[in-house]
Structure 1
Amino acid sequence: MKRRNFLQLAALTGLGSLNLPIVSAGSLESQTRAKTYDGSDEIKTDVCIIGGGLGGCAAALAVCRNGLRAIMTEETDWIGGQISQQGVPPDEHQWIETHGAPSSYRDYRTRVRDFYRRNYPLTPEARNKINLNPGNGSVSRICHEPHVSVAVLYEMLLPYLSNGQLQIFLGFKANTAQIQGDDVKSIAIRSIDEDKTINVLAKNFIDATECGDLLPITKTEYVTGTESKKETKELHASETKRPQNHQAFTVCFAMDYQDGIDNTIDKPTDYDRWKNYVPKLNPAWSGKLLDLSYSNPRDLKPKRLGFDPRGIDTPGMLNLFNYRRLIHKDNFTPGFYDGDITIVNWPQNDYMMGNLIDVSEADFKKTVEDAKNLSRSLFYWLQTEAPRADGGMGWKGLRLRGDVMGTVDGMAKYPYIRESRRIKAQFTVVEEHVGAENRKMVAGEKEGQKAFQFYDSVGVGYYHIDLHPSNQGDNYIDFGSLPFQIPLGALLPQRVNNLFPANKNIGTTHITNGCYRLHPVEWSIGEAVGLLIAYSTKNNVHPKQVRSNKNNLSAFQSFIQQQGIETAWRI
């Protein structure tokens, strides 16, 4: 596979250009060599970040702008995690344009809009919109392309890549760890596509992976799946403990529509299986999975959905094509786009038949491939059998857009994973802290109007508690939450001293993961962890002493507030 160094990569990923190709795994190999002149396979740094998703990128920005050196790895060839390689436009709360997230996350959003204004032929009306939404998708105020996410994230990280503070290893994942007592000494990272292993020695390590990959490697205590109601006292918890019970994951894909053109793909080999598949859930699913009806998450009653790739809405129905639309052609000069481009991350391609946590690599790959087959079958069903308002069936003009996802097969580079291993933390967020109904039950009608106020808050976030159907038969668990804080205690393992979570692997439960797993919250977690390491290093205090010492905690919260972190809500 052809190699490119970072300067080539920066030029190609859209920093002032529209040329946004796929980059090859290991494309920063030249930087690796620059730091290992003797040809050794060992590198020393201040912070080792495993995982290049939003939490990993935010952590890298935080440690680097505070003078530390960092290495960040990424299993795929795109940084950005759920917003890029997984193809999921940002799920955000209604106050996001003004507050409720770190200033650096809002800076990311501003840069996305500026990227479109700088590089794309927008209409005058779209260009002058302060809160430009490139896709006008209904799921987000800023639906945009994965390529643009990659470009903007590199733009933010570029100064530190240029001066050598930061190195990024694409196509690498953690392999083994060296541990001494309660400290991690090094992580061996191994390339995906060639036999190359590098040992990274660091003072602090951050697990920003999608599944909490470092936790078993470093012997950090963790939990998985569903806790029992007896354990957590949560109103919506399961009656029984089920460690292998996880939310569905999704292999997303992009598509557009060419009216009058037959783009029908070959019938997938297991199409008949998926066409007739009825999820076995309790309470029961609405019917067949490949259908325009699904179980309404709020009450689990059958709900009808609309689908028209021309963008035409059916009164009273959500048009799925418009839901996660990345590009709305009306925002651009006439003729620039043939049609709109959308992402398919729907109930119909939620994969709830298998688990990705604590399984062998072979089983992981096999399950992901089966999920890809589900997504291919859904696409073929949309092309050939989906019911139309005019009485016809199927939309032959639908076209897979693998170029949008940076793949040949049209599917996302990595599955959208909603649930990870979770550290056994110094503090665990449970439903009574953030769930609207449970909060009122324990705090009373008046006090229950707000989420629990954490004395050690290092960020804020909001999303309703949204659990998708699980691999062991749970239907949707979806209910209201309250604007919440991120407690520092949930970011600190009970025992291990220098490993910190920066993704969905923090101290939450199966239930509260449902509101702490979205884009701006993941960013907030990563930035808080990066700032914790920076503050501890600068002041020569142990990270755990920041929380345990009142004066340290107060000084740390002041430090992060000065760097644009909101620790309390303004509503």
Structure 2
Amino acid sequence: MKIQIIAFFLFCYGYSQNITKKTVDVLVIGGSTSGTSAGIASSRLGANTLIVEESPWIGGMFTLQGVGACDGNHNLDSGIWNEFRGALREYYGGAAALETGWVSNTLFEPSVGNKIFNQIAAKEKNLQIIHGYYVASILKVGNAVKGATFKNDKNEILEVQAKITIDATDIGETLKMAGAAYRLGMDSQKETKEANAPLKANNIVQDLTWVAILKDYGKGTDKTIAKPSNYSASNFIGSCMETVDHKEIDCDKMLSYGKLPNNKYMINWPKKGNDIYLDVVELSREDRNKELLKARNYTLQFVYYIQNELGYKNLGLADDEFNTSDLLAYAPYYREGRRVKGISFLTYNHVADPYNQKDALYKTGISVGDYPVDHHHKQNPDAPDLGFPAVPSYNVPLGSLIPEKIDGFIVSDKAISVSNLINGATRLQPVVLLTGQAAGTLAGVAIKNQVEPRKVSVREVQQSLLNQKAYIMPLYDVKPTDPAFESIQKISATGILKTKGESYKWANRTWFYPEKNISVQEFTEGLNQFDKKNKVVKSTSILTEQEAVDLLVKAGAKIKKGNFSAKPINKRDLAVLIEESLHAFEKEIDFSGSIKTNKK
């Protein structure tokens, strides 16, 4: 009788809790920048996919966090990033219509970004999005994640069973819940071998920002907000003096940094602006939200300073962007949080010098970026100065998305397995959007093949991304419109034909030089690193088509006899010839970039 009474009360409790249960192939926790693209990508591959997002919007940094100014990837026309940008250009009337501020080539209203992401997502019959729920716990069986439970402000519960779960939160919110090992803060030089890393590790993460969008309400209007609590003008004196790269500016120039279409202004200013250091990552959700009120207040102080001290009373908080009580963004712009310990670990050295590392992670690339290593630490006097170490454009390795030991679990956004230093580059919006696309693709491939993410074929995931018109190599000078684009992407990802990286201002580059000729020695060195049985021929003579054919046949290529020219062959044609005859990209590789052998 006693047991029956307990069972009855447990039943009543569960009923009163209003638990909704769902079962899907892929669960995406967070409709962030990467969560949105992950959900779209996995659903396009046929996986029944659910995104659960706390706020009313999807799109993360681009939208609900208010950062409607894209950092980087202007010349990397890759995947969902290119699809999204193309839709923005169509909406506003061309690429030039997005060049409204000087910080970026692509600026837009966050509400428009949300609208476009929803239009793209709505086309996917396998994708569902649920708003208003935050993650409460991870469901696990043994060492495998099996989904998650969520709650809303009404204390209603959503329980989702999933074959694969993707953490797409900005700060790696579920890593600890899932039992996945992770890093937090700055790594030491001893661990990463990065010259710019501090000598000792610490737990300092980057400053965060609660973004505001201002709107010009017209000359003569006064949209000055009430004076915020704790207001101190001294916090912001100097905001109009110079940029982060020490260029002198005036206040008009400072504000036009993030000028958006329709006379709006993104307020996300790093120097004597509204960046703030808060140590919130390891706090409970309740305590974190309390602490984050300081960020909202600090941004309102800066808005008041702009209006009252600088005289821009006509610039008021936009009333047609965020439906929040203070009209600020729905969520803070986090630059960093927990970073999973993955089966690959990308460091600055892999990016700066990809060909001279113990593991050839560039061969396993799944998303691309070209923005510099950009860290925000001006609000924390204890933070070491990491500088702006030079990098070329780069790719993110597939193994950075997969935890060392936890199954059924993929990590995206800023929580991937990278060093603190290189996170300053991999955290930017377009590359995060592409990393999300790769996370969704990895999930889709794993579901299709009924294997754990760590058991997928690296090349199959990369091929799927290429099929989606996404880059796996960060090539500046070979566009998707080039007929040889896919061949060049594949062969440069084998290392047979090398690229040349260049640190260039705020848009770094990696060159393939498709019209260039190479020497016999350079070609045979590439073949040798691919397979040591291929001998290096020490000849500086320019490689001809016939010589390329002869060397490829020796390497095991299948080429029909024909009349091959004694003229030099350029790298574009050589890539196509290698791809069609040697099928080098079809050789399976592991997550370190090494060719797999049949040995157990």
CA contact (8 A) 2:243 2:249 kept: no
**Scaled by the length of structure 1, what TM-score is found?**
0.75
Residue aligning to 1:305: 249
Residue aligning to 2:486: none
User: Shift of residue 506 of structure 1?
Assistant: 0.3
Stretches of structure 2 that go unaligned for 5 or more consecutive residues are 1-14, 476-510, 512-600
Q: Distance in 1 between matches of 2:221 and 2:43?
A: 50
Residue aligning to 2:471: 566
User: Shift of residue 425 of structure 1?
Assistant: 0.8
Amino acid at match of 1:482: P
- SS in structure 2 opposite 1:47? strand
Q: Distance in 1 between matches of 2:465 and 2:206?
A: 33
Residue aligning to 1:83: 62
Residue aligning to 1:139: 103
Q: Alpha carbons of 1:453 and 1:271: their partners in 2 closer, same or farther (altered >3 Å)?
A: same
- Find out whether 1:532 has 2:442 as its counterpart: yes
Amino acid at match of 2:213: A
- Find out whether 1:417 has 2:334 as its counterpart: yes
Among 284, 292, 302, the residue aligned to 2:239: 292
Residue aligning to 2:285: 361
Amino acid at match of 1:172: Y
| Residue correspondence of structure 1 range 345-424 to structure 2 within 5 A | 345-347=268-270, 348-386=272-310, 394-424=311-341
User: Shift of residue 47 of structure 1?
Assistant: 0.5
- Find out whether 1:157 has 2:62 as its counterpart: no
Q: Distance in 2 between matches of 1:537 and 1:249?
A: 36
Q: Distance in 1 between matches of 2:428 and 2:403?
A: 21
Q: Distance in 1 between matches of 2:463 and 2:57?
A: 34
Residue aligning to 2:555: none
Q: Distance in 2 between matches of 1:188 and 1:540?
A: 24
CA contact (8 A) 1:51 1:208 kept: yes
- Find out whether 1:556 has 2:461 as its counterpart: yes
Residue aligning to 2:10: none
CA contact (8 A) 2:80 2:434 kept: no
For the pair shown, which has the larger CA radius of gyration, 1 or 2? 2
Q: Distance in 2 between matches of 1:543 and 1:59?
A: 14
Amino acid at match of 2:206: Q
Q: Alpha carbons of 1:221 and 1:477: their partners in 2 closer, same or farther (altered >3 Å)?
A: same
Residue aligning to 1:276: 234
- SS in structure 1 opposite 2:266? strand
User: Shift of residue 505 of structure 1?
Assistant: 0.4
- Find out whether 1:457 has 2:365 as its counterpart: yes
Q: Alpha carbons of 1:270 and 1:223: their partners in 2 closer, same or farther (altered >3 Å)?
A: same
Query: For residues 252-294 of structure 1, what are the alpha-carbon distances to aligned partners after superposition, in whole Å with 9 as ceiling and x for unaligned?
Result: 101133322222222222113xx234xxxxxxxxxxx442356
Query: For residues 84-126 of structure 1, what are the alpha-carbon distances to aligned partners after superposition, in whole Å with 9 as ceiling and x for unaligned?
Result: 1111124343643xxx25332211111122223xxxxxxxxxx
Q: Alpha carbons of 1:177 and 1:472: their partners in 2 closer, same or farther (altered >3 Å)?
A: farther
Q: Alpha carbons of 1:94 and 1:488: their partners in 2 closer, same or farther (altered >3 Å)?
A: closer
Amino acid at match of 1:454: Y
Q: Distance in 2 between matches of 1:486 and 1:229?
A: 21
Q: Distance in 2 between matches of 1:113 and 1:558?
A: 28
Residue aligning to 2:182: 222
Residue aligning to 2:199: 239
Q: Percent identity?
A: 27
Among 398, 406, 410, the residue aligned to 1:488: 398
Residue aligning to 1:325: 259
Residue aligning to 2:37: 58
Residue aligning to 2:207: 248
Q: Distance in 2 between matches of 1:215 and 1:374?
A: 29
Q: Distance in 2 between matches of 1:267 and 1:465?
A: 36
Q: Alpha carbons of 1:138 and 1:159: their partners in 2 closer, same or farther (altered >3 Å)?
A: same
| Residue correspondence of structure 1 range 474-553 to structure 2 within 5 A | 474=383, 475=385, 477-546=387-456, 552-553=457-458
Amino acid at match of 1:232: T
Stretches of structure 1 that go unaligned for 5 or more consecutive residues are 1-35, 117-126, 278-288, 309-318, 329-339, 387-393, 547-551
Q: Alpha carbons of 1:101 and 1:225: their partners in 2 closer, same or farther (altered >3 Å)?
A: farther
C-alpha RMSD over aligned residues: 2.4
User: Shift of residue 463 of structure 1?
Assistant: 0.8
Q: Distance in 2 between matches of 1:363 and 1:456?
A: 39
CA contact (8 A) 2:70 2:107 kept: no
Q: Alpha carbons of 1:225 and 1:453: their partners in 2 closer, same or farther (altered >3 Å)?
A: closer
- SS in structure 2 opposite 1:212? coil
User: Shift of residue 349 of structure 1?
Assistant: 3.4
- SS in structure 2 opposite 1:468? coil
Q: Distance in 1 between matches of 2:259 and 2:387?
A: 25
